[in-house]
């Protein structure tokens, strides 16, 4: 199992649907409760109406050599618990969970898996890899279509899919007045002085 560390507390991570979930007792230890299991259970029961199914669930886990039902929380659920906690570590824990939600905390093994999946996807779709390269050079859809020998609408569809997958943030769709360096790059890629 993977784990993250908050201050001096190791928190086991259970990955569910690409999201790191954390056992309640470990959240309780990270928050500094003297009796983590009952503190988290009590906080959850007092505020049960605030939690949604995508924030918490019960899983069967092996803990201390025994198979038990353990309530786990998504980062949003952990943040909600921390909002109701009144411990000295609650403020720092909330900031740490927000960093997880915003992708500022590297999840163990997560980046490697995403990189491998991205590489496999681009091997399976070599045109997409070329589109990412052309987009990094700020070519328009029409220019990419011309280089690839496909229609601009096919480039638009590819760009939409690449954006949906989080691999592409922006591709210039229409004509614009590029600077001299961009014009030179464009001319090199198009092989004809950059005329479209």
Residue 36 pLDDT > 70, yes or no? yes
DSSP E strands in 7-85: the ranges are 9-16, 19-23, 56-63, 66-73
For the segment 8-21, what is each residue's pLDDT rounded down to a tens digit? 888 888 888 778 89
Local confidence band at 112 (pLDDT 50, 70, 90 cut-offs) = low
Quick one: pLDDT at residue 175?
Answer: 45
Q: What's the burial of 25, exposed, middle or buried (CB within 10 Å: 0-12/13-18/19+)?
A: buried
Q: Which two tokens stand for residue 89?
A: 């570590």
Quick one: pLDDT at residue 81?
Answer: 95
Quick one: pLDDT at residue 73?
Answer: 95
Contacts of 79 (CB under 8 A, 6+ apart): 94, 97, 98, 101
Residue of 196 and 165 predicted with greater confidence:
165
Residue 172 pLDDT > 50, yes or no? no
DSSP E strands in the chain: the ranges are 2-6, 9-16, 19-23, 56-63, 66-73
Q: What does DSSP assign to residue 106?
A: P
For the segment 130-139, what is each residue's pLDDT rounded down to a tens digit? 888 888 888 8
Residue 171 pLDDT > 50, yes or no? no
Residue of 189 and 145 predicted with greater confidence:
145
Residue of 114 and 48 predicted with greater confidence:
48
Question: How many Cβ atoms are within 10 Å of 136's Cβ, its own excluded?
Answer: 10
Is 118 in a helix, a strand, or coil?
Answer: helix
Q: Which of left, alpha, beta for 175 (phi over 0: left; psi -120 to 50: alpha)?
A: beta
Residue of 92 and 172 predicted with greater confidence:
92
Residue 126 pLDDT > 50, yes or no? yes
For the segment 46-81, what is each residue's pLDDT rounded down to a tens digit? 999 999 999 999 998 887 788 989 999 999 999 999
């Amino acid at each position: 199992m993977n784990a993250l560390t908050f201050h001096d507390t190791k928190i086991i991570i259970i990955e569910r649907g690409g999201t790191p979930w954390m056992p309640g007792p470990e959240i309780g230890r990270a928050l500094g409760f003297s009796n983590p299991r009952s503190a988290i259970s009590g906080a959850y029961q007092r505020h049960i109406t605030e939690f949604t199914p995508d924030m918490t669930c019960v899983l069967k886990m092996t803990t201390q050599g025994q198979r038990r039902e353990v309530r786990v929380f998504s980062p949003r659920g952990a943040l909600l618990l921390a909002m109701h906690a009144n411990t000295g570590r609650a403020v720092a824990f909330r900031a740490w969970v927000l960093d997880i939600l915003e992708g500022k905390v590297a999840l163990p093994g997560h980046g490697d898996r995403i990189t491998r999946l991205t590489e496999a996807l681009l091997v399976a779709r070599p045109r997409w890899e070329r589109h990412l390269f052309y987009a990094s050079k700020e070519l328009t859809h029409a220019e990419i279509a011309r280089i690839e020998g496909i229609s601009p609408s096919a480039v638009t569809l590819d760009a939409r899919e690449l954006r949906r997958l989080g691999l592409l943030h922006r591709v210039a769709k229409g004509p614009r007045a590029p600077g001299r360096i961009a014009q030179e790059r464009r001319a090199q890629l198009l092989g004809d002085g950059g005329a479209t």
